[in-house]
Amino acid sequence: MALTLAEELKLEGRAEGEARGRMKGKAEGKAEGEAIGEARGEAIGKMNSLVSVLTARFGKVPVSLEKRITGIKESDRIEKLTFFAATCDSLEAFKKGM
């Protein structure tokens, strides 16, 4: 049975709308994934900087302290701790100040 012109146009419009929706969803998903990846990379970089400052000032950083640092999720806290690591008197003082 042949479709009417209106039915054909309706099917065509639906197919176009679905295709646009899929493309938009993929683009949004990609952008969200990139943003998450950037944030994770930035956080890892800040944690590495903190450990580097501690290492430069006090020598080998205990694994237990590195694990505590990597457990910190707030970026601003890591930044404050990095400043504190650069100015505190000892590794013990740093641990207490965490």
Q: Are 94 and 88 in contact (CB under 8 A)?
A: yes
Residue that wins the pLDDT comparison between 8 and 51: 51
pLDDT at 77: 95
pLDDT at 29: 85
Residue that wins the pLDDT comparison between 15 and 51: 51
Residue that wins the pLDDT comparison between 18 and 84: 84
Tokens of 58: 């006090």
Report residue 7's pLDDT band, with 50, 70 and 90 as the boundaries. Answer: confident
Indicate yes or no: pTM above 0.85: no
d(CA 87, CA 97): 12
